[in-house]
Amino acid sequence: MRIRLFRRGNAPDYVLITITFLLVIFGLVMLASASSDLAKRKFDDSYFYLKHQILYGISLGIIGFWLASKIYYKMYQKYAFVLLLLGIGLLISIFTPLGFSAGGADRWLRIGSVVFQPSELLKIFFIIYMAAWLSGREERKNNFWKGFVPFLLVSGLITFLLIRQPSTSTVVILMGSALAVYFASGARLRFVAGIIALGVLGLALVAYSSPYRRERIMTFLNPETNLESSGYHINQAKIAIGVGGLLGVGYGQSTTKILYLPEVIGDSIFVVIAEELGFVGVIFLLLLFVTFVIRGFLLARRTNDQFGNLLLIGFSALITIQTFIHIGAMSGLLPLTGTPLPFVSYGGTALAVFMTISGIMVNISKYN
């Protein structure tokens, strides 16, 4: 059956569009504050990171959002396997001369003047593949050899490549989202339970065999120890959140971000939000995310097409899990991990990817 690339639909979901751009604008406003002192020290330009985010994140994100909102989403089902192979190929390319390290991790590719993280693109490709692979194929939901085993093999390969980077939090985010798609498709509960058990066991083995991961777990269990080393980051984050109180110290007035808080524009940006805008600002941000996710699940419930339904569930789960991990890690509810806050943290690839995800969700909303 031939599928048209562009197809006329109904009106898009304006609530989803509004929330997306409110999150993006909120992110730019907070990045301007969080990055100003750091950018001044490093580049003698207080707006260096903000301009970089607009140039490489917002511009590409708007293009991605616009194209994704226009392209008929069923096209992705046709090329899902090709997209998966592309994503895996890009992950493998990290370990070639095209890849380079930063901060002790191999997560970036440099092709000419373009630098990006393949793991961010994989967040789109893998969800599309899972939704296409499970749509209308009952044996893949209920058969051990045709469903459970292939799911484990593909997930295992991706997990291995991500652990090698290392990027453990991305594994949890991506596999948790894929599992949500698998469960929503109608897979047997014992298969889902088996995958969860294997995942927990695998993460425990990885954490035990890796000194720095094991140290993070021990710091999470005993946060008052090693205050000058492994416990420094989380303790500074808790202090800053506590200082914020109900109304915050005021926009741009954070003192923790200047000298005491590591990764202030990425992994720790929630802490700056909590310190400067307080509990009220945090609640506003959480309401934006909750509204976005609930809207995604409501659209999934209204969508008759299973592929569109699973895409919406997968993308909504992805944003839910990543947001929870970022805020949980900075609040001491989870072990410390380097996870950016969707739409808000600094990072051009991540922002463009999440805006493109929103565009795909908006396109699906036109065909309810």
Three-state DSSP at 73 gives coil
Give the pLDDT of residue 144. 81
- Please state, in angstroms and as integers, the Cα–Cα distance from residue 199 to each residue in 6, 85, 196, 274, following that order: 39, 23, 5, 32
DSSP label of 54: I
pLDDT in single tens digits along all 368 residues of the chain: 456 666 676 888 999 999 999 999 999 999 999 998 888 888 888 889 999 999 889 999 999 999 999 999 999 999 999 999 999 999 888 888 887 766 556 677 887 777 788 889 999 999 999 999 998 777 777 778 888 888 889 999 999 989 888 788 889 999 999 999 999 988 888 888 888 888 888 888 887 777 777 777 777 777 666 666 666 777 888 888 888 889 999 998 888 887 777 788 888 899 999 999 999 999 999 999 999 999 999 999 998 899 999 999 999 999 999 999 999 988 888 887 878 999 999 988 899 999 999 999 999 999 87
Specify the DSSP class assigned to residue 287. H
CA atoms of 205 and 168, how far apart (whole Å):
12
Helices 14-43 and 269-302: crossing angle in degrees, nearest 10, is: 160
Give the angle 156-159-163 at the CA atoms, nearest 5°: 140
Rg of the chain on CA atoms, in Å: 20
Q: How far apart are the C-alpha atoms of 326 and 329, rounded to whole Å?
A: 5
Query: Tell me, what's the pLDDT at 226?
Result: 64
Q: Rounded to an integer, what distance in angstroms lies between the CA atom of residue 3 and that of residue 62?
A: 25
Residue 100 has φ and ψ, to the nearest 5°, of -145, 160
Domain range summary for the chain, segments of one domain joined by +: 14-365
Q: Which residues contact 146 (CB under 8 A, 6 or more apart)?
A: 139, 140
**Coil, helix or strand for 141?**
helix
